[in-house]
Amino acid sequence: MHGLDIILCKASHLLVLRVLYHAEETLTGREIQRRCGLSNRATMLALDALVDASVVRCDTTSQANWYELNTGNYFFAKALKPAFESEDLFWDDLRKLVRKAVKPRPIAAVVTGPLARDEGESTGRLEITMLFSSGRNRIRAFRCFDDMVEAVWDRYALNVELNWIDANTVDDEDYEPLWRRIEREGVLLFGNLP
């Protein structure tokens, strides 16, 4: 039996399942399409395959087809639900990793980039900006650079770009584009930003 092969054989299936997992109500195919950013055809093919695999239920009414996860499905309960729950804990786990790997500890850390924007087709890259209390602490933390990059790769298989800033240079105009990006899409891991 290879039920997961059918359920996870295409990235579109996973995107649809993720949307349904986070939905608090039944959704129409059009709403699922809108939330996962797929074409109508890709969404409907994924839904049809997932309904056939019994991991998604479809209720047909005169207005629309309504979809929801079949939470009683063995593969959902034993494989997909724990995976989605683990995925929801990603930011907390990353916060712990940064706090453990970087010494001296930054006063704040924030993530930007495709994962922070929650792009379904992300490139597997994290951009972490760390703010240190002084230039000396920032320079001392550079010793952790390679260890941090390796730790993120080993734990999440993600490439990481690190920005190291100290409190004395926060207002430097060279950092204005970075601060605008942080304001627009940043996920604060810990601390307070100016």
Contacting residues for 99 by C-beta, under 8 A, at least 6 apart? 105, 109, 190
Structure token pair of residue 61: 């009414």
Average pLDDT of each block of 10 consecutive residues along the chain (194 residues)? 81 93 94 93 96 96 95 94 91 94 94 77 78 94 93 92 89 86 90 84
Look at the chain and count its residues: 194
| Sign of the alpha-carbon torsion through 151, 154, 156, 161 | positive
Enumerate the domain spans of the chain: 3-84, 90-191
Q: Does the predicted model carry a pTM greater than 0.85?
A: no
Place of tokens 């092969």: 5
Note the CATH architecture for domain 90-191.
2-Layer Sandwich (3.30)
- For 3-84, CATH gives 1.10.10.10
